[in-house]
Structure 1
Amino acid sequence: MQYTQLGRSGLKVSRLCLGTMNFGPHTEEADARSIMDSALDSGINFFDTANVYGGTGHRGRTEEILGRWFATGGQRRERTVLATKLYGTMADRPNESRLSALNIRRALDASLKRLQTDYIDLYQFHHVDRNTPWDEIWQAIDVAVQQGKILYAGSSNFAGWHITQAQEAASRRHTYGLVSEQSIYNLLTRNVELEVIPAAQHYGLGLIPWSPLQGGLLGGVLKAGRDGVRRTEGRSLENLKKHQDQIRHYEDFTQELGREPGEVALAWLLHQPAVTAPVVGPRTQDQLDAALRALDLALEPSALQRLDDIFPGYRTAPEDYAW
């Protein structure tokens, strides 16, 4: 396994992050435990979850699954860099969502209880809260750090200027601020290259890409459809129709490389200088094994250029749209 530091922090994390969103709604607990054990055994020490994961009828269920797994011992908690998130609505009451000081306190304590641990390594804001001032947010986070309940704070789904707001407010308070940003980033969705990645690099944040396979579209969806393995529906079907020619060229190129499409998509992310660790969310052991194979795939400059030709990205703003 390869390791790197999370942004400017001294925290070392694996180059793949195990996403747990499927645990509960799509993956039974016994299978989830097996996947987590396998991830740890393979060297993945970075696990990501959120308080809302588990399904609309049982929000918090995924954290509960992780908590029961930690409780089985074997130094599972000590071997894991644990990241969770808050923001989403957990109950039908006025202060059960977003980033008020009250909700930060309550949501953190509830996550700690579900996870059966006394601290969170990386506590992430799942979305920007435009109605809560950053001084309030950082005051609540500073208290949690002083109490030993969290070690680092991160953001998710922030724009570049949101990262700037957060870091400048933290600087005024002489506090550490964010160490990471978790954004959607993959060959098909590269908007973060405009301003989010430059902001993250400027302030020393590690980038944690979610949906690295764009909901499966970069995982060999056309081949799977031809083989009768998978049927694409809903929004994924709309996106497939929109990008069908690109995806066909992409799958043909991965065949030339002799690698599976999902491995190439993950390897491309691992070659991007701002990326710390893509979030892989396996539903099965086979999907985890496929993700691990991407770590050994070194893409030549010519291959990276070919991928850019198929899926054009962005230059840093404003040069992308101005002189």
Structure 2
Amino acid sequence: MEYTQLGRTGLKVSRLVLGTMNFGPQTDEADSHSIMDAALDAGINYFDTANVYGWGENKGRTESIIGNWFAGDPGRRDKVVLATKVYANMAASTDAWPNHDKLSALNIRRAVDASLKRLRTDHIDIYQFHHVDRSTPFDEIWQAIDVLVQQGKILYVGSSNFPGYKIAQANEAAARRAGTIGLVSEQCLYNLYERRAEMEVIPAAQDYGLGVIPWSPLHGGLLGGILKKEVRGGRRASGRAADTLADPAARSRIQAYEDLLDKHGLEPGEVALAWLLTRPGVTGPIVGPRTAGQLASALRAAELELSEELLAGLDEIFPGPGPSPEAFAW
């Protein structure tokens, strides 16, 4: 496994990030623990979760699964760079009150303590804002973060789903506060099919020294050989992938993608991950395996080298938007 610095920090992280969103809803606790064991054995040291994972009445379940894994062998915690997120309302649907969500100082303080309890750890390495909060000023957010850093409860702060201008606002506000490091990472939707982050989000992250952590690298399975699986009678497209394939033009592009990789004898899902590892500014994509087999496929992708010919072919099928303002102006 290769390692790299997370943005401008001294923190070394693996070039694949273990996403845990499926732990609980899709993968039971025993299998989740086995996947985490295999990931750590393979050298993946960057584990990502969120307080809301588990969803619905099971919000927080995923953090608890990870916490139980740490408790099973306390030595694991020192090997893992642990990231979680705050924003969603964590109260039960019958007990939702104001201030139980978003990024107020009150909710950040409450959410950190709850995550620490579920994760069974005394600190979170990277605490991430899961979404922008248009109602809370960054001065208030950074004041709350400064206190948590001083208390040793968190070490670094990242963002998720932030537009470029919010990355700039956040870090300019941090720069006004002595000793506040600001955002060090941004998790964004970014993959071969969905490249709009290249216009402003990734350039902003690079300019401010943030590591880019793409989520949904296979675009909901769309880039994982979905058409070939349909022909073989396997898992059919659902959600975002099914909506996209309903468009004949989009379906044609996915068919061209799969045909290109057949020509090169490569697996679509592995190429989609490997492509992200070639992109400027990308620290590593989040892989969210439901099974050990899916983790093994992601690990193969980390070793895959893509030829210039193949990269050019991928750009032809999925051209990026280009940088802004040229992407939408003269």
| Cα offset, 1:319, TM superposition | 1.5
Q: Distance in 1 between matches of 2:238 and 2:222?
A: 11
* Matched residue, 1:228: 233
* Matched position secondary structure for 1:155: strand
Structure 1 outlier segments of 4+, above 6 Å: none
Q: CA RMSD in A?
A: 0.8
* Matched residue, 1:281: 288
Question: Which of 212, 215, 227 is residue 210 of structure 1 equivalent to?
Answer: 215
* Matched residue, 1:30: 30
Q: Distance in 1 between matches of 2:149 and 2:124?
A: 10
Does the 8 Å CA contact 2:221/2:237 hold for their aligned counterparts? no
Does the 8 Å CA contact 2:48/2:84 hold for their aligned counterparts? yes
Structure 1 residues 82-127: Cα deviation after superposition (integer angstroms, max 9, x where no partner): 0000000101111110000000000000000000000000000000
1:24-63 equivalences under 5 Å are 24-63=24-63
Q: Compute the TM-score of the two structures, normalised by the length of structure 1.
A: 0.99
- When structure 1 is superposed on structure 2, of 237-246 and 132-141 the one drifting more is 237-246
* Matched residue, 1:186: 191
The amino acid that maps onto 1:99 is L
Q: Distance in 2 between matches of 1:309 and 1:26?
A: 35
* Matched residue, 2:156: 152
* Matched residue, 1:298: 305
Question: Which of 116, 120, 123 is residue 116 of structure 1 equivalent to?
Answer: 120
The amino acid that maps onto 1:258 is G
Q: Distance in 1 between matches of 2:101 and 2:239?
A: 28
| Cα offset, 1:296, TM superposition | 1.1
Q: Distance in 2 between matches of 1:141 and 1:46?
A: 21
1:194-205 equivalences under 5 Å are 194-205=199-210
Q: Distance in 1 between matches of 2:64 and 2:81?
A: 17
Unaligned runs of 5+ in 1: none
* Matched position secondary structure for 1:192: helix
Q: Distance in 2 between matches of 1:246 and 1:151?
A: 43
| Cα offset, 1:74, TM superposition | 5.4
- When structure 1 is superposed on structure 2, of 90-99 and 118-127 the one drifting more is 90-99
Residue 142 (structure 1) aligned with residue 146 (structure 2) = yes
Task: Flag the 1:61–1:193 CA change in 2: closer, same or farther, 3 A.
Answer: same
* Matched residue, 1:255: 262
- % same residue: 66
| Cα offset, 1:237, TM superposition | 1.3
Structure 1 residues 23-47: Cα deviation after superposition (integer angstroms, max 9, x where no partner): 0000000000000000000000000
Q: Distance in 2 between matches of 1:131 and 1:238?
A: 32
Does the 8 Å CA contact 1:250/1:307 hold for their aligned counterparts? yes
| Cα offset, 1:241, TM superposition | 2.4
* Matched position secondary structure for 2:185: strand
Q: Distance in 2 between matches of 1:93 and 1:76?
A: 36
Does the 8 Å CA contact 1:24/1:55 hold for their aligned counterparts? no
- When structure 1 is superposed on structure 2, of 281-290 and 310-319 the one drifting more is 310-319
1:258-269 equivalences under 5 Å are 258-269=265-276
The amino acid that maps onto 1:211 is S
Residue 4 (structure 1) aligned with residue 9 (structure 2) = no
Q: Distance in 2 between matches of 1:74 and 1:132?
A: 37
Q: Distance in 2 between matches of 1:126 and 1:241?
A: 30
Question: Which of 226, 241, 246 is residue 246 of structure 2 equivalent to?
Answer: 241
Structure 1 residues 125-177: Cα deviation after superposition (integer angstroms, max 9, x where no partner): 00000000000000000110010000000000000000000010000113110
* Matched position secondary structure for 1:71: helix
* Matched residue, 2:18: 18
* Matched position secondary structure for 2:253: helix
